[in-house]
Amino acid sequence: MADYELRSWTSRDGLRLCYRDYVGPDDRPPLLCLHGLTRNARDFAGLADRLGGKWRLIVPEMRGRGDSDYARDPMTYNPAQYADDLEVLLADLAFDRFVTIGTSMGGLLSMMLAAANPARIAGALLNDIGPVIDPVGLARIRDYVGQGRSFETWMHAARALQESQRDAYPDYGISDWLAMAKRLMVLGSGGRIAFDYDMKIGVPFEQPAGAAPEVDLWPLFDALAQAPMLIVRGERSDILSAETAGQMAARASGAELLVLPRTGHAPTLDEPDCVAAIDRLLSRVG
């Protein structure tokens, strides 16, 4: 496993938020790795194992996830607040250019950071997310987020993931489901295994507008697309449609579109084809 230091920063509303800092050279832009809605920094452990030492990786955990503080007000669990938290971190780190690697919600945050200052984006990877979110996938997320299930053993946790996500990963064996469980979950103080996030992140989804109002995200995508880009889509994704992915690739002249067969939302970025595509993207980062 690649070595990292667990560091922290303070949000404007006083939360202690954590990030993994994988040491790398200072002569190339760092990689800012942004996880999905219910995920945490462990999602990028495989990426860090491959790239740590060659690149500096910064892997934040959004408020309410992993080692970061839970929010006092659950309505701050929204993309605008997450982006503001990241802006504070970027200012603390004094980064003027970086590569964004964003999975699902993390890709939305990548677009928001680009819209605020596109010149600082040296490259971008959007993992199974785009400016248009498929309503089928959004409905699925609303159904499961914040449910607060817990499990007696890791095997029970793995079997539960297999039952709920087998359509997304039809080729997974039990070892893959166990690995996913250990990325998504943590052993709690009561001895039960539970998802590693504040169940209240689901509260904004209960509002009439959902987690965020309907907005046109294409201008945000266009800001991100000024840099070299890799768009990754799972062939079975219910979040990023084939139509939207095609429009993204056509709209971004410097983009590569990679579609991973027999994979749903979201690819792990450890797939062999994805590893090769990430290497191609980083070779284009100046």
- Domains observed in the chain: 5-143+213-283 (3.40.50.1820), 147-196 (no CATH)
**Cβ-based neighbours of 181, under 8 Å, separated by 6 or more:** 154, 157, 158, 161, 193
Q: Which helix (H) or strand (E) holds 103?
A: strand 98-103
Neighbours of 108 (CB within 10 A): 25
The per-residue pLDDT for 91 is 98
Output the pTM of the full model.
Answer: 0.96
CB 222 within 8 A of CB 249: no
User: How far is 278 from 15, CA to CA, in rounded Å?
Assistant: 33
The per-residue pLDDT for 212 is 47
- Which residue type is seen at 109? L
Binned at pLDDT 50, 70 and 90, residue 208 comes out as low
Average confidence (pLDDT) over 270-284: 98
Average confidence (pLDDT) over 271-275: 98
Q: How far is CA 75 from CA 11, 70, 80, 141, in A?
A: 15, 12, 11, 17
Which two tokens mark 185?
Answer: 């979950």
User: How far is 147 from 202, CA to CA, in rounded Å?
Assistant: 8
- Would you give the distance in Å from CA 29 to the centre of its chain? 19
Higher pLDDT, 188 or 185: 185
> 58 forms bridges with which residues in the sheet?
21, 32
Query: Tens digits of per-residue pLDDT, 30-70?
Result: 999 999 999 999 999 999 999 999 999 999 999 999 999 99
